[in-house]
Amino acid sequence: MDLERELRGLAIAWPKTPDLRPELGPRVRSRRPLLAAIAVALVVVALAAAFAVPQSRGAILRFLHLGGVTVEIVDTLPSAQERPLAAGLGPVVTAADARRRLGATPLVPPLDPPPPLHVADGVVSAVFADRGRPVLLSELGGDDPVIVKKLLQGGQIRFVRVGGAPGYWITGTGHVVTLPPSPSPRLAGNVLLWQTGGLTLRLEGRGLTLARALELAGSFRLLRDTP
Amino acid sequence: MEGRPREERELVLRAQGGDPRAFEELVRPHEEVAFRVAYLITRNAAEAEDAAQEGLVKAWRALGRFRAGEPMRPWLLRIVANEARNRRRSSGRRDRLALAAAEVSGEAAPSPEAAAVEADERRRLLDALEELPEQARLALACRYLLELSEDETASALGVRRGTVKSRSARALEKLREAYGPRA
């Protein structure tokens, strides 16, 4: 048809294709269920060092995604407040509802009864006590960025393996997190971030150590429906 | 670009084994079209660059789920286009596409006057294309400006092939009405 030919014949002055040389970090090899033993091959990559050279425009020096979590390495942190881990997690829902909202079965700590599950904007959360201190577990399905963490350049981020699955361990005072539904960031404690079985999981606690976080991660079980 | 499936398959397997060079070789033939798809969506060259760059990183991470033997281009376009849509959504920008017709020289223009008329017609056609609703504009731009196949367009737009067909047909009708007969 005439018009199709005319469209095809339009020589467009496209902007010059840039030299796309993405930084290829550790590749996600598989998403195995986490229920296997968690003898962790702890691969420490000096990610913070790798991130130290700014290349992108603006204040975000580097970013990486792990499932629904985006970690941005920035030169200035936004102002953030300290808020309790349990603040603003959304309403408590039933197991079935949590599963439906997540599109997968949530993992929960092996407590009896399991901690109440909250849902907000597709994030399923639970706060429970670990050795007398509160720990927040957040779970996301899908790859759309929902949780944004900002970490100061030079901050502590390490690549770790959690039961064979890729993850990051983020520590130090220089990071903040924006967790839905709250639009404003808060100061974050130590965080283990990993993917398993199509879920992205985030475990946060002030006094949490990497060893304890990995232990906890390995103890989580698929949620059973409660009557 | 898809004339070397065996080679591509081998590169996929090597890249899946963790070889970043193999991945780069694999995606290089598709980088230009991926960037242009991102540009059509974001309407901004810097945003398109970021989207393409980040799309490639995501593709690298997701490579374990790619089946060796399947065409790489639609898969890659889907990831980059998705990234571009997310960026456009979050930036809230609504730039005009500033698609410009390249200068055409040579036998097409028998005289300066005719050349001016031709250039004017091309501009008018591009303007009419720009004025189409977003989905219609993208369908036509992918099909006719980038000359993507229906399958590739479907991947880039995140719709089914049948939707590309019907959307393109309707978009052509709209464009025909807007562009009208030559003066």
pTM (predicted TM-score): 0.51
Instruction: Indicate whether B84 and B46 sit together in one domain.
Output: yes
What's the total number of domains in chain B?
A: 2
Query: How many contiguous H segments (helices) and E segments (strands) does chain A have?
Result: 4, 15
Q: Which residues of B touch A27 (CB under 8 A)?
A: 18, 60-61, 63-64
| pLDDT tens per residue, range A17-48 | 988 876 666 544 333 333 222 222 222 233 33
* Residue B112, C-beta contacts closer than 8 angstroms, at least 6 positions apart: none
Instruction: Indicate whether B65 and B126 sit together in one domain.
Output: no
Asked whether residue A53 carries a pLDDT value surpassing 50, the answer given is no
Task: Look at residue B59 and tell me if it is in a domain.
Answer: yes
Instruction: Indicate whether B11 and B65 sit together in one domain.
Output: yes
Q: Which of B49, B85, B120, B140 to mutate to test the interface with A (most CBs of A within 10 A)?
A: B49
| pLDDT tens per residue, range A203-217 | 998 888 999 999 999
| pLDDT tens per residue, range B155-175 | 999 999 999 999 999 999 999
CATH code for the domain in which residue B35 is found: 1.10.1740.10
Which of B91, B125, B145 corresponds to the end of one domain?
B91
How many A×B Cβ pairs under 8 Å? Answer: 89
Tell me, what's the pLDDT at A25?
60
Domain of residue A81: give its range.
47-222
Instruction: Indicate whether B10 and B66 sit together in one domain.
Output: yes
Instruction: Indicate whether B16 and B76 sit together in one domain.
Output: yes
Instruction: Indicate whether B85 and B130 sit together in one domain.
Output: no
Task: Look at residue B104 and tell me if it is in a domain.
Answer: no
* Closest-CA distance of chain B to residue A17, Å: 6
More confident residue, A159 or B155: B155
More confident residue, A59 or B55: B55
Task: Look at residue A197 and tell me if it is in a domain.
Answer: yes
Nearest-angstrom CA–CA distance, A141 and A69: 10
Select the residue of A8, A24, A63 nearest B144 (Cβ to Cβ). Answer: A8
A10:B145 CB<8 A:
yes
What's the total number of domains in chain A?
A: 1
Task: Look at residue B97 and tell me if it is in a domain.
Answer: no
Nearest-angstrom CA–CA distance, A61 and A63: 7
Average pLDDT, chain B: 83
Instruction: Indicate whether B52 and B121 sit together in one domain.
Output: no
Asked whether residue B180 carries a pLDDT value surpassing 70, the answer given is yes
Nearest-angstrom CA–CA distance, A30 and B178: 50
Q: Which residues of B touch A43 (CB under 8 A)?
A: none
B32:A17 CB<8 A:
yes
CATH code for the domain in which residue B138 is found: 1.10.10.10
B125:A6 CB<8 A:
yes
Nearest-angstrom CA–CA distance, A187 and B84: 30
Instruction: Indicate whether B72 and B14 sit together in one domain.
Output: yes
Task: Look at residue B36 and tell me if it is in a domain.
Answer: yes
**Mean of pLDDT values over A189-204:** 87
A17:B86 CB<8 A:
no
Task: Look at residue A142 and tell me if it is in a domain.
Answer: yes
Beta-carbon count within 10 A of B103 CB? 9
Domain of residue B12: give its range.
5-91
Residue in chain B lying closest to A28 (CA): B61
Please calculate the CA angle A41-A45-A46 and round it to the nearest 5 degrees.
150
